[in-house]
Amino acid sequence: MNEAAGKVAPFYAVELNRIANERQRRGLPVIHMEVGQPSAGAPAAAIEAGHRALRDCPQGYWESGALAERLAHLYRERYGLPVDPSQILLTMGASAALVLTIAVLFARGARVAVPRPGYPAHRNVLHALGLVPLELDCGSETRFQPTAAMIRALDPAPAGLILTSPSNPTGTMLPEAELRAITAACRERDIRIISDETYHGIIYGPRAHSMLEYGPDAVVVNTFSKYWCMTGWRLGWAVVPAPLVDVMRRFAGNLFLVPPTLSQHVALAAMDHAAELDGHVATYATNRRLLMAALPALGITHIAPADGAFYLYADVGHLTHDSLQWCRDLLDATGVALNTGKDFDSVHGGRFIRISFAVSTDETAQAIESLGRWLEARKRA
């Protein structure tokens, strides 16, 4: 057995999602704010392209050169970055891109720093692949993000650092100056950066910067799941520094072969329909404003300053130190499904909740009302 098997935790979000789905099957209403999944699907025109590809194209092993080119173009459009299509490695979701990148970059037993709170699969994949996650305790004073000072203080230097900006669960972004400083610190200390840019495209303020603007030797992982609303299509990619392309392709061919063929057709079409997708982001922005206005009035005042993604990470330590049970109770009483911070932070997570607002604005308003009534009733109880 893998000696780290006990360290790979299940997602509480999955448990809460299961309870929510059972509730729904019993005919009770549910608002799904527990999982990181847009309630919208891929653009209608992309689904049409899917029908056409299903009718006209063979569904054999395939890597879409056109999609790699289109993604390389995205880096020019979004960030002004020259990326060659050969540097784009299509993968089965950001998950496979991450597994692949970690498997290639590090020797077994190496230490890789990850922010806490952070996406649990980052530390769990490190455990699963025989590496040692080094959690960086990131509190509200640094916007729940690591700093160059934290990186410099690590002794000995880790082999790698995984960054997520905007972050899951907090939605906070690393400021440009900090991105620059972190890159410099990592370069000095020979720390390889993996930048998980899953939430780029879902931004509420100034544009997101790619780590590649500062550190061209970083590996970027990304996905069609979030901005493009294509979770179940399982398609992502890595942007690979030229010197690593050959070894990454060799590993990809052995570990995974190629990503799903039809998903590549659909994604290519989806990339031409930004208007529909930006409409979803506008909905998230409205939902975010509603929540940011309403939660303080309900006594939830410590909320991470989310610059992007579709999450609010809120401190509910004045209400509970067991936010998993709190979420179960809320779901049971109201049908509003949120997630516990324990998925993201094994130390302080019991004081936190994550609210995913990639739902409709009506649902957001209903959730606020239900939460308010429930909190009021608990106060009286």
List residues near a copy of itself by CB under 8 A: 1-3, 5, 8-11, 14, 35, 37, 41-42, 47, 50-51, 54-55, 58-62, 92-93, 95-96, 99, 103-109, 120-121, 124-125, 128-130, 230-234, 247, 249-251, 253-263
Q: Which CB, 209 or 265, lies closer to a copy of itself?
A: 265
Task: Tell me which H or E stretch contains 209.
Answer: none
Please give the structure tokens belonging to residue 335.
Answer: 């049908």
CB of 49 vs a copy of itself, minimal distance in Å: 10
Of 234 and 354, nearer to a copy of itself (C-beta) is 234
For the CB of residue 70, give the shortest distance to a copy of itself in the complex, in Å. Answer: 19
- Closest distance to a copy of itself from the beta carbon of 211 (Å): 19
CA distances from 368 to 114, 214, 362 (A): 32, 40, 10
Least separation in angstroms between CB 121 and a copy of itself: 5
Buried b (16+ CB within 10 A) or exposed e, 230-268: bbebbbbbbbbbeebbeebbebbeeeeebbbbbbbbbbb
Q: Hunting for tokens 């063979």 — which residue is that?
A: 58
In whole angstroms, the minimum distance from the beta carbon of 359 to a copy of itself comes to: 13
| Residues 201 and 77 sit within 8 Å (Cβ to Cβ) | no
Q: How far is the CB of 6 from a copy of itself (least distance, A)?
A: 9
Alpha carbons within 13 A on the beta-carbon side of 351: 9
Helix (H, G, I), strand (E, B) or coil at 242: helix
Q: Which residue number, 128 or 375, has a Cβ lying nearer to a copy of itself?
A: 128
Non-local (6+) Cβ contacts of 335 within 8 A are 20, 23, 28, 29, 30, 31, 370
Q: To which H or E segment does residue 85 belong?
A: none
CB closer to a copy of itself, 92 vs 355: 92
Contact 273, 45 (CB under 8 A): yes
Q: Which is nearer to a copy of itself, 25 or 380 (CB)?
A: 25
Q: Which is nearer to a copy of itself, 254 or 325 (CB)?
A: 254
Lookup: tokens for 227: 């901005």
Output 121 or 371, the one with its CB closest to a copy of itself: 121
Query: What does the DSSP 8-state code read for residue 210?
Result: P
Least distance from a copy of itself to the Cβ atom of residue 51, Å: 6
In the complex with a copy of itself, the residue whose CB is nearer, 93 or 341, is: 93
Nearest 5°: the CA angle 327, 328, 330 is: 60
Closer of 33 and 304 to a copy of itself (Cβ)? 33
Closest contact distance (angstroms) between CB of 240 and a copy of itself is 13
The nearest distance, CB 104 to a copy of itself, in angstroms, is 6
- 53-91 b/e with 16+ CB inside 10 Å = b? beeeeeeeebbbeebbebbbebbeeebebebeeebbbbb
Q: Do 79 and 213 contact (CB within 8 A), yes or no?
A: yes
363: number of CA atoms within 13 Å, CB side?
A: 19
